[in-house]
Amino acid sequence: MNVLAFFAHPDDETMLCGGILALLAKADWQVHYLSATRGEGGEVGEPPLCTREELGEVRENELVCAVRSLGGRSLTFLGYIDPTVGLGEELFAYTDNLTLLAGQVAASIRQFNPAVLITHGSNGEYGHPAHLLTHLAARLAIESLGETAPLLYTVAADYPDFPRKRLANKSDPAHLVIDITSALEQKQAAALCHRTQHDLFIRRSSQDAGRQLSVPEVVMMVESLHRAHPPASGKLDDPLALALAPWDQLKTHA
């Protein structure tokens, strides 16, 4: 069984659903990764690990490392340039051509023939324009494929005990809430691969905790998914839900 994980930047795959992707790989699913950008606009590390000009290549290599840690089968970049964060931490989308992007995603779906496409949630987690764009492109791609489309699941689906409410997609109720403890080692290893982003990972959580946290400490041990297409009705019995059933903590589905 194939699954395609489509995200805007390197590290999104790991921090938002790396445990689920590792569990699927352990269950002999072929997990293919599709990244819209190389994360050229992100942080360079604290202290800096590279120059701004080198960041895209460095983050590409970090994602290669993370995909390997999660047991991924392949990694493809769509080649978009990630805009640099603006004044006041303003964030930007990586293209204004949604139609072209959706067509590229549809082409990747045809190439890998996944049973499931996993991507960002409908609120872009914390409203990141690039995450919102990626979600919309995935939806348009699915719609364009009609009856041949894979299932569409989105990450960081909301539920009452979501550990970091800032990241929850409040418009996407959780259908699966997965305890990823048995894949925690792989997820932590993948997070450690993203070295340029470590300070970003721990900054807010360290402030909230009142002490300096490590990257492994901030990796979430529970992840959640919302089935966006086709809409869920009652208990899920599709291939992804069945594959993740041993780790599903929700039991009753939206």
Domain extents for the chain?
2-247
Q: What local confidence, expressed as pLDDT, does residue 19 receive? A: 98
The answer, yes or no, to whether residue 252 has pLDDT greater than 80, is no
The first and second tokens of residue 99, run together, are: 């139609």
Please provide the average confidence, as pLDDT, over all residues in the chain: 96
Residue pLDDT, tens place only, 139-179 = 999 999 999 999 999 999 999 999 999 999 999 999 999 99
**Which residue intervals of 146-213 are DSSP H helices?**
184-193, 198-209
Residue 246 predicted with pLDDT over 80: yes
Nearest CA to 152 out of 134, 167, 179 is that of 134
Q: Distance of CA 223 to CAs 13, 61, 63, 70, 250, Å?
A: 12, 25, 20, 15, 11
What architecture (CATH level 2) is domain 2-247?
3-Layer(aba) Sandwich (3.40)
pTM for the model: 0.97
pLDDT of residue 253: 47
* Sheet with 2-7: strands ordered across: 74-80, 30-37, 2-7, 116-119, 151-155, 222-229, 176-179
At 25-38, the pLDDT tens digits run 999 999 999 999 99
